[in-house]
Amino acid sequence: MEKSKINKEWHMKNRMSKNASFEQRVKWHTEHNKNCKCREGFPQKLEEEIERRKKKN
């Protein structure tokens, strides 16, 4: 029996819009990391943006 890492149900319920804001994307990936294992952590570009914003504050 093979178990897929992707939580299809979660993905169906949580579609991210193409023009999602930075905050929306961070929120989406935070929830995604909790609910699905189809990929690890944040995309590199988003991670870089998070670091950039941390430094500003």
Q: Which residues bind Zn ion (CB under 5 A)?
A: 36, 38
Nearer to Zn ion, 16 or 38 (CB): 38
Nearer to Zn ion, 39 or 53 (CB): 39
Instruction: Count CB-CB contacts under 10 A for residue 40.
Output: 6
Please give the DSSP secondary-structure letter assigned to residue 17.
P
Nearer to Zn ion, 45 or 52 (CB): 45
CA dihedral sign, ordered 22, 46, 40, 17: positive
Least distance CB 31 / Zn ion (angstroms): 10
